[in-house]
Amino acid sequence: QIPDRARERIIDIASTQFPDGGCYHQYQPLTKKGNADIGGDFSDDPLWLILSVSAYIKETGDWSILDEMVPYDNDMSVAQPMLEHLKVSFYHIVNNLGPHGLPLAMRADWNDCIN
């Protein structure tokens, strides 16, 4: 089923998130790991998890994904519910704003082609 595969992929990607809310810029579906060579600190990446989970819930009505235990950086010893992953994604962005209240570009901005 497509909804089941979408849920699985969202959980796999959330499993590559860092405890501070940042995340890898690239995800390798075969290994289910983030790309450590590229790393993280791209300013828009944490928001994609929020958008993906929101779209999944809207399309499926499956709110139980928010209770799913998901590790940080594939370490089950620091697993938390998906809802907590969404919160740390949000706070990672709002805690990294510039003097004008806009998200900092960090390693890349919202339009990678202008870097």
From first to last of the 115 residues of the chain, give the pLDDT tens digit: 889 999 999 999 999 999 999 888 887 888 878 788 877 777 778 888 999 999 999 999 999 999 999 999 989 999 999 999 999 999 998 998 899 988 887 776 555 555 4
pTM to 2 decimal places? 0.86
| Calpha distance 44→51 (Å, rounded) | 11
Q: Residue 53 has which token pair?
A: 């989970």
4 belongs to the catalytic site: no
Which residue intervals of the chain are DSSP H helices?
Answer: 2-14, 45-60, 82-94
Q: Of 4, 41, 75, 112, which residue is the catalytic one?
A: 112
